[in-house]
Amino acid sequence: MPKPGAAAQTATPALRKWIVEQADAGFAPDVVLASMLASGWDEAVAAATLHATMAAHQHQAPKPAAAPVPSPALDGSPLWLDAGDRQVAVLSVLRIPRLVVLGGLLSDEECDALVELARPRLSRSLTVETQSGGEEVHVDRTSDGMFFQRGENPLIQRIESRIAHLLQWPETHGEGLQVLQYQPGAEYKPHYDYFDPHEPGTPHILERGGQRVATLIIYLQSPELGGATLFPDVQLEVAPQRGNAVFFSYDRPHPCSQSLHGGAPVLAGEKWIATKWLRQHEFN
């Protein structure tokens, strides 16, 4: 990396070139920024240069074609959405990225039941290993979690049917519901949920149902402090309020979707969430 000079720091062509090289190599923006700070760059200069360079690079780079995505019925700016067996409140909507904050997706009783069913089956959360298409423990993700099989029991069946109705997407096109526990200090650093088309393990992953095209995060237990869901590209924080959810879609596996997101560290108490990933095709 080009080192900053002793005088007032300014972005140089060499620095911008280095940032693009790191992005093309697959390093997340927070990792690139941390490397710049460790090399002596002023935080304000580094952050501004990183943001401007990546915005220009993403605008110039060829983008994959857009795909159909799940979506609630938002025409007419409704206050409530029909989820089949339940009315769900619309609390906030963003158009770019495609994001909706939903109120009361699950009842308190459903949240408690999911936590209790998941608790004895928890283990350290894994991430996708992009070279092989397998899974691995990663320092960026420090929660514990488990997966329910699709349709595993009546509670899961009811929730999956509600999600499919709400998002107008077939139940068969969803992965199994994942439940995660975040204890104090646990977090998930900013990342994308889609599978990077440039990674060698991606073709193997896509055999099971195509790309991920949307994510639904449901809050099952609120921590006392911390644990917000962060969307760095749009400077948005979603509070982890029990029973509520945040839905966002990404019509192409590319940073232009602005679907970068993460889970802020829990500072006190425990956060429990359920995550549903939706695929292009039937997931098996």
**What is the CB neighbour count within 10 angstroms for residue 44?**
9
Q: What is residue 60's predicted lDDT score, i.e. its pLDDT?
A: 63
The gap from C-alpha 123 to its chain's centroid, in whole angstroms, comes to 20
Which of 35-39, 169-173, 202-206 is least confident?
A: 35-39
pTM: 0.77
> Please, which pLDDT band fits residue 8 given cuts at 50, 70 and 90?
low
pLDDT band per the 50, 70, 90 thresholds, residue 62:
low
210 vs 64, 69, 173, 234, 280, CA distance in Å?
A: 14, 12, 9, 27, 5
pLDDT band at 196 (very low <50, low <70, confident <90, very high): very high
* CA distance to 154, 196, 216, per residue, from 249 (Å): 27, 15, 9
Res 180 pLDDT > 80 = yes
Segment 205-229 mean pLDDT: 97
Average pLDDT, integer, range 111-123: 96
Residue that wins the pLDDT comparison between 125 and 237: 237
Q: How far apart are CA 255 and CA 11, in angstroms?
A: 23
pLDDT of 4 > 80? The answer is: no
User: Which is more confident, 198 or 217?
Assistant: 217
**pLDDT grade, residue 185 (50/70/90)?**
very high
Identify the pLDDT of residue 86: 97
| pLDDT, position 48 | 86
Mean per-residue pLDDT for 106-128? 90
| CATH of 80-279 among 2.60.120.620, 3.40.50.1110, 3.90.1150.10, 3.30.70.1070 | 2.60.120.620
How sure is the predictor about 275, in pLDDT bands with cuts at 50, 70 and 90? Answer: very high
Q: What is the mean pLDDT of residues 58-80?
A: 86
Tally of CA atoms within 13 A in the half-sphere of 260 that contains its CB: 14
Residue 55 CB contacts under 8 Å (≥ 6 apart), including other chains: none
pLDDT at residue number 52: 85
Spatial separation of the C-alpha atoms in residues 218 and 17, rounded to whole Å: 39
Round the average pLDDT of the chain to a whole number and report it: 90
pLDDT over 60 (residue 132): no
pLDDT confidence bin for 65, thresholds 50/70/90: confident
Q: What's the mean pLDDT in 38-62?
A: 81
